[in-house]
């Protein structure tokens, strides 16, 4: 059974029909990516999953829990962590405090301590800058911190919204390596990206969003060979 399944999702912004009945699934252990152009509805779909926008109809199910009736702050307790668009680190707190906020729902101190170590091991750059104020980090480091903060909630699944946004190609590669790494350690990943090329490289499966509907879906490798996808998203 799928870990996350979205069925016939419809979202309106006032009279604008933003998401027109999309359905997709993410299975345990996979990296699944939603790709599409600006305004296709990628972020809206993620917001619908995390309860930040009102859903008109359809269902969002995570490990047997109906996310439509779950309050946003309780979603992380179910094991679904988000790395929001634009990183959104707590700019005036230190790196360490940012990570603590990620673990604020957990009471098992020993396990949290172990996760600090794991996060610092995976993201050694954060360890060097543990006492630094997050707002003074570079864009790439802030993205790492946002991922680290999400991992501190000990999630089963990670939602990433445009992790490559505003980063240099070199850093994009580094971030994508981290995402792959996290996935290998057993965390399922749903990745929303404009950088379709990179996203298709690391994903198992992909869905292509176009003006609020899914136009194509399938194996990431097959999609990246597809003529239409190449023309529209991969620059020919």
Partner 1 sequence: MKTKKWIPNVIILVLVLALYVVLSVLISANIINPYYSGILTMVCINVILAVSLNLATGFLGQLVLGHAGFMSVGAYAASLFTMYSGLPQIISFPIALLVGGLVAVVFGVIIGVPALRLKGDYLAILTLGFGEIIRVLILAVPFTGGAAGLSGIPLLTTFTYVFILAILTVGIIFAFIHSRHGRAVIAIREDEIAAEAAGINTTYYKLLAFVMAAFFAGVAGGLYAHHIGVLDPGKFNFNYSVEILIMVVLGGMGSITGSVIAAVVLTLLPEALRGFSEYRMLIYSIILICVMLFKPSGLLGQYEFSIARIFKRLTHKKADAEKEA
Contacts with partner 1, residue ranges (CB under 8 A): 50, 52, 71-77, 81-82, 84, 88-93, 97, 100-102, 104-105, 149-150, 153
Q: How many contiguous H segments (helices) and E segments (strands) does the chain have?
A: 10, 10
Sequence-distant (≥ 6) Cβ neighbours of residue 7 within 8 angstroms: 23, 58, 59, 60, 61
* Cα–Cα dist 156/169, whole Å: 28
From the CB of 94, what's the least distance to partner 1, in Å? 11
From the CB of 146, what's the least distance to partner 1, in Å? 8
From the CB of 222, what's the least distance to partner 1, in Å? 33
Sequence-distant (≥ 6) Cβ neighbours of residue 223 within 8 angstroms: 200, 206, 208, 216, 217, 229
Taking residue 85's Cβ as centre, other Cβ atoms within 10 Å add up to 17
Contact between residue 134 and residue 101 where contact means Cβ atoms under 8 Å apart:
no
Sequence-distant (≥ 6) Cβ neighbours of residue 111 within 8 angstroms: 154
From the CB of 197, what's the least distance to partner 1, in Å? 27
Pick 113 or 219: Cβ nearer partner 1: 113
* Cα–Cα dist 55/35, whole Å: 21
Pick 161 or 205: Cβ nearer partner 1: 161
From the CB of 102, what's the least distance to partner 1, in Å? 5
Pick 140 or 148: Cβ nearer partner 1: 148
Strand partners, 34: 192, 207
Pick 49 or 229: Cβ nearer partner 1: 49
In the sheet that 57-62 helps form, which strands lie side by side, from edge to edge? 16-26, 4-13, 57-62, 65-66
DSSP 8-state symbol, 138:
-
Pick 147 or 196: Cβ nearer partner 1: 147
Pick 77 or 231: Cβ nearer partner 1: 77
From the CB of 203, what's the least distance to partner 1, in Å? 22
Pick 132 or 211: Cβ nearer partner 1: 132
From the CB of 168, what's the least distance to partner 1, in Å? 23
């Amino acid at each position: 059974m799928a870990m996350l399944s979205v069925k016939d999702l419809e979202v309106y912004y006032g009279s604008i029909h933003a998401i027109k009945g999309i359905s997709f699934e993410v299975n345990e252990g996979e990296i699944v990516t939603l790709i599409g152009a600006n305004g296709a509805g990628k972020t809206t779909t993620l917001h619908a999953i995390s309860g930040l926008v009102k859903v008109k109809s359809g269902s969002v199910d995570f490990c047997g829990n109906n996310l439509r009736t779950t309050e946003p702050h309780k979603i992380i307790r179910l094991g679904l962590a988000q790395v929001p668009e634009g990183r959104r680190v707590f700019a005036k707190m230190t790196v360490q405090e940012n990570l603590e906020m990620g673990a604020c729902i957990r009471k098992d101190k020993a396990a949290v301590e172990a996760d600090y170590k794991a996060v610092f091991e995976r993201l050694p750059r954060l360890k060097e800058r543990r006492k630094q104020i997050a707002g003074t980090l570079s864009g790439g480091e802030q993205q790492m911190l946002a991922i680290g903060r999400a991992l501190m909630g000990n999630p089963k699944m990670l939602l990433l919204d445009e992790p490559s946004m505003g980063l240099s190609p070199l850093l994009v590669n580094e971030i994508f390596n981290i995402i792959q790494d996290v996935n290998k350690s057993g965390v399922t990943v749903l990745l929303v990206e404009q950088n379709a090329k990179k996203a298709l490289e690391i994903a198992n499966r992909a869905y292509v969003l176009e003006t609020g509907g899914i136009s194509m879906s399938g194996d990431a490798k097959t999609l990246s060979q597809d003529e239409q996808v190449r023309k529209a998203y991969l620059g020919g």
